[in-house]
Structure 1
């Protein structure tokens, strides 16, 4: 096999949510790749000692044209949104929020959280659904074992397990814990492209070594992926996938649209507190103001063509 087929995406450090920001590692989007399937954003954070960092405290902020996926390895986050949802994000449980036409929400780590560790992911909505109504879903997938790996499927289907969480394009999202020294081969949909994000351990994806915080990308065409943990301690990974997303998107701040004008309008409506984004109850502070727009037209982004 030609191991050069695995593209390694490295993370960059980004401050999250205002002046007392915790730092996250962002692997999507980046210049080399905007999307993997409809997955358009991947932040990976922790293990973060809350006593030192202050934890997560993200004031009310808006979203359009996307779904947010919260998945924790440790800690707990309190979620409130303009649907009236008040929920908790806990390890091994997915919270998926749809902010199509417009939603706003807050994310705050709970007082009992000592170590915060997980991923925050976004899914781009296809054009025909990007003004979908607000929605919130919660699911706690069962774990199961395959060849020295423990797997939780939070979106889509993998090795016979299917998540009931609804999405607008076919997607795969799964946490895979690999025992020390183990190898697991997983049958996957050959129509999907895949990204394997490594949280802990050095993992080989079809022979290519990925280090913690790196994401290994595979183009469509593979019917199976082989993951090997060559280290002497367990490894944790998150596998993302979906068919290539054929549309160009404009991403800016917390908005996804199809044009610069979409973003301008969403920003203006957030700044004047229009009904588009609703109101979040229960947060003891001000909402996040939108940053200034760039002095240029925001260009659409798409992936490079597959060779």
Structure 2
């Protein structure tokens, strides 16, 4: 699938921007892919807080869409560099053509993987028999030594494998899991699988401990390490160090379907813009110019009854190479320090040797936790406790699947120095402030 945003952002992506949370929940943003009847996708990668999971750098989740209303998928010839595209459907059928000469169908339970290293072009069109379209489109960043790899296309139909204890089944489309090994080649170690978890089932999946993992929930409900619960379209992240992925379906009557992604942390910076993955602004600009000039770099897609997609205009501001800022990590709680949620008091408390040394207060507005006051007692000043308190409170907000609103000046200041919570931070609008004032009776 092309990224057909009219004004696509140019994104510099790295692996973890510093000491990472062991578990995160990433919420998607809606991205329309064209005109008023075009598809809208739910994008979970890339985000400010997390750009990659292994070499997985892009995750779009779409449907189920009624083709009669959306018009289905009709993506004209468009280019790619520096990546592999992974197409996986739950419902429907898509016709694929590319400049390598490949002509194939994408069907449920079948992977189409296309390599667009130095340059490739392709089309994707839902077939006339498709009434409902539902699936995921994923990209894999190629490492620097292979980013100019030749064009390639692979199709594979993985056999279902039973989950332990009769918990459901898995289809492993990349990498290996539960003894099932995909023959599809990749340029970095990867894991990609569709899991169907039966109602009420719990399963522990042995995985490579050096990998980071993502769980993209399609349908149903899912809990994973730490008791965290995913809602449909959310992506749960697990940092390296997990020898197993432990998941459960809390529903008694509905199966859960989830895409499991994994790979070792990708140790390179990449620049993503439109349908290109490169290493610099100049590399992206060069690829764009080549596409607009109809360069042989991308070849020609035969059999599509229309013109190709023009490249959007590059942003006016040149992207300078940089890394995500490393958070200034406050001291970790030791054996004498504890942060706890005092739910009835609407606050998080930090305790030193069992005594409350400070707290940060909040009120909940729907799925938003509004922080409005933070204090540390004078007797405990100068020990970095406020940073520990706020960090642990915000980590708990993330793990609860909520967003935060920083009305409290200290929390707002903390967020200016710690970028890791941007994806769950909402603006303290005048409406929120008025609501909070009424809620507090002040």
RCO comparison, higher one (Cα < 8 Å, 6+) = 1
The counterpart of 1:227, out of the listed 225, 236, 247, is 247
C-alpha deviation, 1:288, in angstroms = 0.5
TM-score (norm 1): 0.96
- 2-side partners of 1:105 and 1:305: how far apart? 38
1:278, 1:21 → 2: CA distance? 27
Alignment of 1:87-236 (within 5 A): 87-146=104-163, 147=165, 148-206=167-225, 207-231=227-251, 232-236=253-257
CA distance in 2: counterparts of 1:305 and 1:93, whole angstroms: 40
Tell me, what secondary structure is at the counterpart of 1:237?
strand
The structure whose Rg is larger is 2
Cα deviation code 1:158-184 (max 9, x no counterpart): 111110000000000000000011111
C-alpha distance in 1, partners of 2:176/2:322?
28
Following the alignment from structure 1 to structure 2, what is the Cα–Cα distance between the partners of residues 305 and 121?
27
Query: Quick check: 2:88–2:136 contact (8 Å CA) kept in 1?
Result: yes
Question: Partners in 2 of 1:267 and 1:40 — Cα distance?
Answer: 20
**RMSD between aligned residues:** 1.5
Aligned partners of 1:132, 1:215: CA distance in 2, in Å? 30
Contact in 1 for aligned 2:110/2:156 (Cα 8 Å)? yes
Q: Any runs of at least 4 consecutive aligned residues in structure 1 with deviations exceeding 6 A, and if so which?
A: 303-307
Q: Which of 246, 254, 275 is residue 296 of structure 2 equivalent to? A: 275
Q: Which has the higher strand share?
A: 1
Unmatched 5+ residue regions in structure 1?
none
CA distance in 1, matches of 2:50, 2:248: 25
String of CA shifts for 1:24-65, please: whole Å, max 9, x gaps.
Answer: 000000111110000000000000110111011111000000
Instruction: Look up the SS of the partner of 1:106 in the other structure.
Output: strand
With structure 2 as the length reference, what TM-score do the two structures score?
A: 0.67
Aligned residues: 304
Superposed displacement of residue 5, structure 1: 2.8
Cα distance in 1 for residues equivalent to 2:326 and 2:181: 30
* Cα displacement (A) at 1:21: 2.4
Secondary structure of the structure 2 residue equivalent to 1:244: coil
Q: CA 1:180–1:54 in structure 2 vs 1: closer, same or farther (change >3 Å)?
A: same
